[in-house]
């Protein structure tokens, strides 16, 4: 009986093997995978036909011509991706030593996908991988995932077809997506990377709580507010930035005499405050979010599927690409596992403690937002004070980057000649352009080279220039950029983050620092409320205000809140009259107050009297 090699197995067999192995796992919690039959759930509707164009594109030539370089080239046959680690410099010599830690990390990933409590600080499973492989989800979740996916895609199709329409009739022409963090970055990446004019509904975003940003976006909508579909996305339903954006949008609809609920869609956790509101007001549609999917890994859920479908993006292919990369990065054969190799490179380059920043340099305009997307995915996941044993470690991996060749005219100068405190992750897309764009074939010099040839030349040239100066870098090579490839790219970095987190022994799936910031913001808003209450009782100096507040209140926070109140006096009614105050220091017109704020600014120094005036 001959033994079947790992590389001879088909993708479906690997998924079956994963389920079988997990049945005998110990210590995975109560969530076993069960012995349910494998289902397709629509992922294979279009098959892998287009991959035929990629076959062989990244294969290495036979023979020894490439020498040692071939030993640091890794590929994923099902996705067509390749990873070049030949330019890591001294860090690259440690790749062989990473085998045992990587195997342990892969075992942890296997347990995670089986339903183990991988986020112990919140007592939750971590299941974003199930979103593109529902058949692997435990406890009957697969049916719910598949049904939600179909509902999201069908809703997008019906809106684009005009079967779902605005309250005033006609068709929806724009989308206003309200969300923050992953609830905005995922859809923004989809639109920027895959959106095409005329393919679907252009999408605008409220992704902050900046009133100036709200106003500019609404002015851009203009009369199209009447035909605008509003998506409100918040897992908890209580995210303040998202709530504020929703209230601003609702006010704009009401001012225009439009029924907000008839054009609003909620994407939120079942039973959340937002879910209850949408049900009570009979919003146009509601789609679920699950507590086992974090915002930064939610693009394969309704968070990305609904806006992506409305944009006219083939989200089925996006999910296929993510699922294909998941299969490739479950492989136990490390040379065939791009996520394991990429995590090892991160670990070696950053010394396993974030000693170097990662500069993401995709040479493609459509990936201009990918650096921002990675910032959240990587830094929110890996930036942790404590490891899983409770030891203070201050882990993290700093990420920045924009796109090439634009950045060659910006900070690449420092990368080559300045501080040696980074490594570069190049993203190289082999196929130029999309859809037979004439710009892809137009010669731009006497030798017949195109703008795409120049773009690739600039990437390879920058790579060589950095390497010649001893600056570590790696290159991820992608055959073409389409929905399948973007799904695979997102899945690759999600898996890499999970493996790296295991290598450094941290929980990649909570965000206590974010929660601390939210708590502090709430306390400052409470302080604002108390200051207004005190000023409502009569004018007060800074010292009098401070003395009237609880003893633990710090003076700096009081002053900072007053600065903003006075700067917006037309709205708040808070003004400051000049003059001395009991015990306060006063500065001249060109000096600075004790807060460090210029005396000529909106609030001046702390000396003076603050008053609250009634607003019309």
Catalytic residue among 144, 518, 543, 592: 518
Report the alpha-carbon distance of residue 31 to residue 115 in Å, rounded. 5
The DSSP symbol for 450 reads B
The reply to whether 518 belongs to the active site is yes
Return the axis-axis angle of helices 315-328 and 141-161, rounded to nearest 10°: 150
Report the alpha-carbon distance of residue 36 to residue 135 in Å, rounded. 8
Q: Are 447 and 494 in contact (CB under 8 A)?
A: no
DSSP code string of 377-422: IIIIHH--SB-TTS-B------EE---TTGGGGTTHHHHHHS---E
Distance between the two ends of the chain, CA-based, in angstroms? 89
Q: Which two tokens mark 141? A: 């979740």
DSSP code string of 580-604: --TT-----TTSB-TTS-BTTSSS-
Q: Which two tokens mark 174? A: 């724009």
Report the alpha-carbon distance of residue 32 to residue 442 in Å, rounded. 56
The helix (H) or strand (E) run that includes residue 428 is strand 422-429
3-state secondary structure of 201: coil
The DSSP symbol for 37 reads P
Give the count of beta carbons closer than 10 Å to the beta carbon of residue 338.
24
Nearest to 501 by CA among 126, 221, 189: 126
Report the alpha-carbon distance of residue 603 to residue 610 in Å, rounded. 10
Q: Where are the beta strands (DSSP E) in 218-356?
A: 228-234, 264-269, 285-289
Tell how far CA 281 is from the center of its chain. 30
Q: Are 237 and 268 in contact (CB under 8 A)?
A: yes
**Dihedral over Cα of 500, 505, 508, 514: its sign:** negative
Query: Exposed/middle/buried for 615, CB within 10 Å: 0-12, 13-18, 19+?
Result: exposed
Peptide bond just before 186 cis, omega within 30 deg: no
Catalytic residue among 30, 409, 468, 519: 409
Give the count of beta carbons closer than 10 Å to the beta carbon of residue 169.
8
Catalytic residue among 78, 135, 241, 380: 380
**Dihedral over Cα of 364, 368, 369, 372: its sign:** positive
The reply to whether 519 belongs to the active site is no
Q: Which residues are catalytic?
A: 380, 409, 518
């Amino acid at each position: 009986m001959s033994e079947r090699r790992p590389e001879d197995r088909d993708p479906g067999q690997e998924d079956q093997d994963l389920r079988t192995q997990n049945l005998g796992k110990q210590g995975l919690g109560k969530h076993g995978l069960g012995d349910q039959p494998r289902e397709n759930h629509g992922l294979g509707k279009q098959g892998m036909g287009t991959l035929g164009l990629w076959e062989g594109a990244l294969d290495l030539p036979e023979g020894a011509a490439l020498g040692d370089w071939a030993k640091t080239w890794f590929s994923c046959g099902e996705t067509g991706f390749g990873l070049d680690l030949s330019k890591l410099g001294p860090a690259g010599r440690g790749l062989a030593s990473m085998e045992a830690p990587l195997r342990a990390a892969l075992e942890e990933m296997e347990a995670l996908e089986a339903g183990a409590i991988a986020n112990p600080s919140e007592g939750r499973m971590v299941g974003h991988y199930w979103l593109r492989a529902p058949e692997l989800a435990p406890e009957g979740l697969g049916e719910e995932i598949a049904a939600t996916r179909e509902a999201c895609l069908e809703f997008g199709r019906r809106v684009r077809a005009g079967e779902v329409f605005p309250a005033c009739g006609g068709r929806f022409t724009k989308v206003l997506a309200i969300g923050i963090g992953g609830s905005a970055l995922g859809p923004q990446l989809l639109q920027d990377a895959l959106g095409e004019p005329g393919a679907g509904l252009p999408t605008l975003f409220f992704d902050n709580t900046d009133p100036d940003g709200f106003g500019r976006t609404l002015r851009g909508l203009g009369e199209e507010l009447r035909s605008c579909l509003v998506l409100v996305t918040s897992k908890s339903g209580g995210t303040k930035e998202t709530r504020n954006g929703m209230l601003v949008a609702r006010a704009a609809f009401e001012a225009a005499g439009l029924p907000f609920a008839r054009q609003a869609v909620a994407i939120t956790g079942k039973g959340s405050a937002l879910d209850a509101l949408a049900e009570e007001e009979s919003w146009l549609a509601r789609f679920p979010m699950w507590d086992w999917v974090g915002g930064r890994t939610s693009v394969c859920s309704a968070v990305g599927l609904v806006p992506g479908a409305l944009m006219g993006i083939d989200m089925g292919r996006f999910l296929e690409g993510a699922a294909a990369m998941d299969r490739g990065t479950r492989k136990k054969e490390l040379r065939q596992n791009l996520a394991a190799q990429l995590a090892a490179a991160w670990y070696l380059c950053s010394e396993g403690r974030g000693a170097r920043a990662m500069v993401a340099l995709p040479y493609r305009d459509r990936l201009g937002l990918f650096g921002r997307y990675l910032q959240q995915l990587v830094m929110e996941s890996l930036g942790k004070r404590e490891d899983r044993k409770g030891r203070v470690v201050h882990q993290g991996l700093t990420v920045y980057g924009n796109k090439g060749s634009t950045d060659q005219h910006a900070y690449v100068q420092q990368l080559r000649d300045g501080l040696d405190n980074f490594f570069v992750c190049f993203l190289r897309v082999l196929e130029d352009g999309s859809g037979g764009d004439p710009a892809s074939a137009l010669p731009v010099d006497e030798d017949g080279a195109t703008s795409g040839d120049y773009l690739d030349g600039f990437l390879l040239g920058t790579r060589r220039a950095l390497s010649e100066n001893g600056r570590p870098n790696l290159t991820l090579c992608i055959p073409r950029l389409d929905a399948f490839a973007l799904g695979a790219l997102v899945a690759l970095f999600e898996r890499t983050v999970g493996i790296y987190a295991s290598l450094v022994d941290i929980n990649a799936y909570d965000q206590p620092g974010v929660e601390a910031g939210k708590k502090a913001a709430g306390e400052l808003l409470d302080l604002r409320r108390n200051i207004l209450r005190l000023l409502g009782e009569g004018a007060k100096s800074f010292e009098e205000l401070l003395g009237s507040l609880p003893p633990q209140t710090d003076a700096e926070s009081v002053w900072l809140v007053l600065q903003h109140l006075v700067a917006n006096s037309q709205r708040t009614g808070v003004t400051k009259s000049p003059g001395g105050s009991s015990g306060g220091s006063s500065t001249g017109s060109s000096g600075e107050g004790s807060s460090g704020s210029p005396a000529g600014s909106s609030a001046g120094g702390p000396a003076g009297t603050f008053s609250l005036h009634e607003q019309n």
